[in-house]
A = this chain, B = another copy of it.
Amino acid sequence: MASNVNRQVLLKSRPEGIPESEHFHIVEGVVPTPVGNQVLVRNLYLSVEPAMRGWVSAVKNYAEPVPIDGVMRSFAVACVEVSCHPDYRVGDIVTGLFGWQEFAAVDAEAIQRKVSDADLPPSTALGVLGLNGITAHYGLLEVGQPRPGETVVVSTAAGSVGSCVGQIAKLKGCRTVGIAGGPEKTQLCTEYFGFEAAVDYKATDFSQQLAAACAGGVDVYFDNTAGPISDAVYEHLNIGARIVVCGTASVANWDPPPHGPRVERHLLLKRARVEGFVVLDHPEYEVIALKDLADWVRAGNLRYLEDVLDGIEQAPGAIAGLYRGDNRGKRLIRLTPA
């Protein structure tokens, strides 16, 4: 270690809605010393993801809120610097909730996994070969249960989960329609990620575009947005449709919840199902998904984009940028040792 400084991003105040850079501050701590069986890791890449909005919110959620003046919760891929645990050796590449900081001393149980796909870049462990890919795999295949020939519609289709969903659906023989914001992203959907059609939700003729792209109806809708985008998709459900609720990116604030057209009539007429899931409930699924995902990446059947910001000082503003749609692909913060 070239320095004894551990720069950390702490939560300064709780945002109403989307966290901005002003809600965080960067402090210089001291690199911790592992105690007991702990492992000292040096973070290589920090993850930035939409779920972070929920993690800093005081509103009831599936994880405890990050405390004020606590290190921002984050997945990271890291290199083991010091190990007091027999399962880990110096130089191992590991992932876990190591936080927005340069170094973390963690119990072995806090390590999510050791990255074994050494032929693939470590950053992929936070995206296509990490939570995003596993979320897409589980949500589409286990919750959505697509059958060959069916039409699968995905919102935030150019994003790191959505692009993965579209490609997996295509690998499973489905027809895929992506929904994204603006011509650059819809082009990315069709030309880079192989969606058969892509629809621009920012276009004035969005509903007509969607109707044209879904002329045969929608069998699976992988919903990353909720809101008016979903309302438009519900108009085209086929009998027996499955809606996978993965995220609600289009809703800035759930307290109180926004109102929209009630959906029960669609669900009755179409004998349709809407189901929410949280992939962290299914840790046993990780191995199954990662095997498929790594094989598909190696075979060139699963493409991904990374949006890499350099330096921990980029972290505080990085979540708001996601919600503005600034990123192209999985947003990461790359840390370079001082």
CB of A223 within 8 A of chain B? yes
Residues of B within 8 A of A197 (CB): none
B264–A226 CB distance below 8 A: yes
Residues of B within 8 A of A277 (CB): 268, 271
Near B by CB (< 8 A), chain A positions 240-261 give: 245-248, 251, 254, 256-261
Residues of B within 8 A of A61 (CB): 269
Q: With A269-B276, A275-B267 as given contacts, are A262 and B226 in contact (CB-CB < 8 Å)? A: yes
Give complex CA distance A278, B261 in Å: 22
CB A271 to nearest CB in B, in angstroms, measures 5
Q: Max chain B CB contacts within 10 Å: which of A261, A266, A275, A276?
A: A276
Residues of B within 8 A of A251 (CB): 262, 264-265
CB of A270 within 8 A of chain B? yes
Near B by CB (< 8 A), chain A positions 91-149 give: none
CB of A321 within 8 A of chain B? no
Residues of B within 8 A of A278 (CB): 268, 271
Partner of A257, one of B247, B258, B261: B261
Give complex CA distance A273, B143 in Å: 10
Q: With A272-B276, A274-B274, A275-B273 as given contacts, are A245 and B267 in contact (CB-CB < 8 Å)? A: yes
Partner of A281, one of B248, B258, B271: B271
Number of copies: 2
Give complex CA distance A61, B270 in Å: 9
Give complex CA distance A245, B248 in Å: 22
Q: How large is the interface on A (under 10, 10 to 19, 20 to 34, 35 or more residues)?
A: 35 or more
Residues of B within 8 A of A324 (CB): none
CB of A34 within 8 A of chain B? no
CB A272 to nearest CB in B, in angstroms, measures 6
Partner of A245, one of B247, B257, B258, B264: B264
Q: CB-CB contacts of A153-177 with B at 8 A, as 1s and 0s?
A: 0000000000000000000000000
B259–A259 CB distance below 8 A: yes
CB of A15 within 8 A of chain B? no
CB A254 to nearest CB in B, in angstroms, measures 5
CB of A227 within 8 A of chain B? yes
Give complex CA distance A278, B265 in Å: 12
Residues of B within 8 A of A227 (CB): 262
CB A44 to nearest CB in B, in angstroms, measures 30
Besides A257-B263, A269-B276, 20 other A-B contacts (C-beta < 8 A): A223-B264, A226-B265, A245-B264, A245-B268, A246-B268, A248-B264, A248-B268, A251-B264, A257-B261, A257-B262, A257-B265, A259-B259, A259-B260, A268-B276, A268-B277, A271-B275, A271-B277, A272-B275, A274-B274, A274-B275
Which residues of A pack against B, CB within 8 Å?
60-62, 223, 226-227, 230, 245-248, 251, 254, 256-278, 281
